[in-house]
Every structure is written in C-alpha cells, then in structure tokens.
C-alpha cells in the first residue's frame, strides 16, 4: 500500500467518524422516543414521545440530506449542482439553530458540482467556529466566493486550520473534513484561503 493510499484511507475513516458523530444524537433520540412509546401508557407522555421521535427523525433527515449532497457520489461528477437544491439543503441543515444563514438570492441556475460540495462543507466548518451562534453568509462576486461566519465568540480549532493547510493531516474528523473541502475546491479549479479575526472567520474560494 502506498503512502498516498494510506492517507486516503485515513481521510475516509475520519470523515465517516464525523458523519457518525453528527447523526448519533438524532438517531439516539429517535430510539429513546420509541422506547418511551413502548413502555408508556400515559397519553400525555406518549404524545411527548411522539413529538420527540418526529423532531429527531426530522433532524436526522436534514443532516443526511446535507451530507448526501456534500459528500455523496450520485449522478455524473461532471453534472452541475442546481443552486436551488444547494440553497434548500443548506437552509434545512441550519434551520432551527443559533445561526442566521444568508445565501445569494440568485446565482444563475447551477454550480460546478465539486465547488457546490466544497461550499456546503465550508459553511458547516465555518459555522462550527461560532459555538454561541451568529451570522453565516455566503456571497459571490464574479467567480469568487466567500463564506463569512461572524459572532461574539469565535473558536477556530487548530485541527481545522491544519486540515486546510498542506502538512500532515491530524487524526481529527474536523481536520479531515477541512482537507476534503480543500481537495474539492482544488478539483473545481479554486484556491481556498482562510482568515480569522477576533469576531469572524472567512473562507475564500477564488479561481487559480
């Protein structure tokens, strides 16, 4: 096995760990709700359990939808990604959270698929730098894109910064997602840059 192949296997394993972590809470809550329904006879408690199952199943579905579009291999890689689908999935993923998401009103009809995937993952990574919430915006000027996450508290993890770099990949799921985002951007012909300030994080995607 070559060193490159080993690195790729590590990248896949770490991304899978991130997906499992992201879904574990919602799936676990569905299971808890089902157990309550099986044991509970009080109508009010059963109604609460049904609500828990419904909300948790909805959370799991929107997360799966997001990562299916961002990481999945459905269709031809050369096919464009409809911006309407991009927008719908991104809004659903962040719905109900502590972040206010702003997307361009219209960006034509489609995006190159690797770029669309990179932007989705970039939004997710930038959002995680705002543990107390804030504003998350995607903007476009000509062929340049920028993601800006702004809030009162910014925590940009060292592992994520390393993932966006060129050095060895830390054994961390967040770093793996950052490295894969960078690879997607490069495959779309873009250079990915990052910027960290006191109250904001920016990710830039510009043609090379």
In tens, the pLDDT along 27-45 reads 888 888 888 888 877 888 8
Return the pLDDT at 43.
Answer: 83
Cβ neighbours around 18 below 10 Å, total: 19
Q: Where are the domains of the chain?
A: 3-207
Are 122 and 203 in contact, with CB atoms under 8 Å apart?
yes
pLDDT in tens, 86-139: 999 999 999 877 899 999 876 667 899 999 999 999 999 999 999 999 999 999
pLDDT in tens, 153-185: 999 999 999 999 988 888 899 999 999 999 999
Are 206 and 193 in contact, with CB atoms under 8 Å apart?
yes
Are 101 and 91 in contact, with CB atoms under 8 Å apart?
yes
Q: pTM (2 decimals)?
A: 0.88
3 state SS of 206:
strand
Return the pLDDT at 109.
Answer: 77
H or E stretch at 127 = helix 113-127
- Beta-bridged to residue 134, according to DSSP, are 99
Does the 3-207 domain belong in CATH 3.30.470.10?
no
């Amino acid at each position: 096995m070559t060193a490159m192949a080993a690195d790729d296997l590590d990248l896949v394993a770490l991304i899978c760990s991130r997906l499992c972590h992201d879904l574990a809470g919602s799936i676990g809550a569905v299971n808890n709700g089902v157990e309550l329904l099986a044991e509970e006879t009080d109508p009010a408690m059963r109604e609460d359990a049904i609500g828990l199952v419904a909300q948790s199943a909805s959370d799991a579905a929107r997360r799966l939808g997001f990562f299916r579009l961002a990481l999945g291999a459905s269709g031809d890689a050369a096919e464009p990604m409809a911006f309407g689908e991009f927008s719908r999935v991104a809004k659903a993923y962040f719905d109900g959270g502590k972040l206010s998401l702003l997307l361009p009103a219209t960006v034509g009809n489609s995006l190159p698929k690797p770029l669309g995937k990179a932007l989705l993952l970039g939004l997710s990574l930038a959002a995680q730098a705002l543990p107390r919430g804030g504003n998350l915006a995607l903007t476009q000027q000509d062929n340049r894109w920028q993601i800006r996450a702004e809030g009162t508290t910014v925590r940009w993890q060292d592992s994520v910064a390393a993932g966006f770099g060129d050095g060895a990949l830390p054994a961390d799921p967040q770093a793996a997602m950052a490295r894969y985002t960078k690879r997607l951007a490069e495959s779309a012909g873009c250079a990915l840059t990052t910027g960290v300030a006191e109250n904001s994080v920016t990710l830039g995607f510009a043609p090379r």
